[in-house]
Structure 1
């Protein structure tokens, strides 16, 4: 899937921003995959609880805190995304520097806001 977004830290809880992001991505016709702590489904998107080696990931949008991110550094690098979005509360200068040194675009932004103002591209 071209231009696919991976939501990392996906939640089945409708009050969580990752859940809202999945719904908004689907509404905006963005191919969406998701990984979270629990398996399930949101808006037709299956949430995996394992680090699957997806192909053709354009964007990884983070909803996990910096400490948890450490376990995902190599995983995300191996996905070779074009960009990684650090949503509010996920900012991590160490990982940002690693991504930039691997020529991966970094955005400190809110996926929901980017989608709502048509700046998610």
Structure 2
């Protein structure tokens, strides 16, 4: 991917990041890295994925210029982070399969954030990211 392309401008926060190669969040980090999309992995497990240190979600780090949040944590585990993630004012939040949450979805939309049900992996693979 060429530097300066539209994809490289979409700083993506991968919520639920993990070093476990069998998890979809890991696949997403891999695909983002391969596509040249800058990403920040964040989760409750420490480690590093594709050259990026996984930030500790529990500390709710101050982050800026987040374009996209892609969710890989189930609905039951989202409530604690909902206000924090909305406060990052991303342009969009992708609710990947298994992360659908009508309350979070509506709160994001009410905050002016594009909320969508989708699959980051499919979107990247079909140039719809």
**Under a length normalisation based on structure 1, what TM-score does the superposition of the two structures give?**
0.95
Q: Which residue of 2 aligns with 1:31?
A: 38
Separation in structure 2 between the aligned mates of residue 93 and residue 74 of structure 1, nearest angstrom: 15
Deviation at 1:2, TM superposition (A): 4.7
**What residue number does 2:89 align with?**
80
Moved over 2 A (4+): none
- Root-mean-square deviation (CA, aligned residues, Å) is 1.2
Which structure dedicates a bigger proportion of its chain to strand?
Answer: 1
Q: Match for residue 107 of structure 2?
A: 98
Match of 2:117 in 1: 108
1:5-42 Cα deviation digits (max 9, x unpaired): 00000111000000010010010001100111211111
**Partner Cα separation in structure 2 for residue 59 and residue 94 of structure 1:** 19
TM-score by length of 2: 0.89
Out of 20, 38, 54, the residue aligned to residue 47 of structure 1 is 54
Where in structure 2 are there 5+ consecutive unaligned residues?
1-7
Unaligned regions of 5+ residues in structure 1, if any?
none
The answer to whether the 8 A contact 1:3-1:59 is kept is yes
